[in-house]
Amino acid sequence: MSLNIFMAKNFPDLPLRPPLFYNWKIGIRFELGVEFDRDYNDENSPYVQEVYKRAISLFHSLHSNNEEIIIVVDADDYEDGKTYKHRGRIISPYLYEKTALYKLQHKGLPYVFPEDDEEGKYKTHRFALRCKVSDLRYIPLLKAICNQDLGIQPSVSHRIYFLNVQRQTIFHVYDDRGCDVLAASPEAIKDIYQRYNRWILDYDRAEIDKVFI
């Protein structure tokens, strides 16, 4: 199943761009970062360790090693596109088998935030790779995504989405503050809603509860 088919079948008319939670009727917004001492320069600080713990725990609850996923990477281009010719390097460090990169699909898109591009000069390069969860070094990848605004290396600043083919879900850590979990049906994510209810962002809790209660 290609990315386009997956989206059309399970999330029709949903633009794959943040904020996902506010653009789809079935979803959960979880809080990753909590108010510990915000020492962004130390990955062993309580704040950062809690961010890692929550991101990894939520991912584990939503994905099994033998399940197929489509990992999507969006890289924005504010220049001429030449720098994105070999952007398989974005995913390569997080794959156990580099030969999987032969299946990496690339598509140039209009900038996914057109409201911020009045002159129409920007582009978004979208990379999609279908693989099994077990093919992916997802723990260091999740940590790198969480690190993007913390001043900790390694870090990944591109938007990365994990689409679960079997469960028909989308998992997106947007930064150390939180992550969005979307589904084609409430049943697909009711377990994670119940298990990690205390991590739900209180600001959106009332709307989220309506979907599952």
DSSP secondary structure string for all residues of 137-149 = -HHHHHHHHHGGG
What is the spatial distance between Cα 73 and Cα 129, in angstroms, rounded to a whole number? 9
pLDDT tens per residue across all 213 residues of the chain:
899 999 999 999 999 999 999 999 999 999 999 876 655 668 888 899 999 999 999 999 999 999 999 999 999 887 765 555 556 678 899 999 888 888 999 998 988 887 877 777 888 999 999 999 999 999 999 999 999 999 899 999 899 999 999 999 999 999 999 999 999 999 999 999 999 999 999 999 999 999 998
Q: Give the model's pLDDT for residue 138.
A: 97
Domain ranges across the chain: 3-212
Name the phi and psi angles at 173, rounded to 5. Answer: -85, 115
Structure tokens at 69: 């996923």
Considering the entire predicted model, what is its pTM? 0.93
Q: Give the model's pLDDT for residue 98.
A: 84
What is the spatial distance between Cα 176 and Cα 8, in angstroms, rounded to a whole number? 29
Q: Which long-range contacts (CB under 8 A, 24 or more apart) does 85-93 make?
A: 87/125, 87/127, 88/127, 90/127, 90/156, 90/158, 91/127, 91/129, 93/137, 93/140, 93/154
Q: Give the model's pLDDT for residue 170.
A: 98
Q: Give the model's pLDDT for residue 42.
A: 82
Q: Give the model's pLDDT for residue 39.
A: 59
What is the spatial distance between Cα 84 and Cα 40, in angstroms, rounded to a whole number? 29
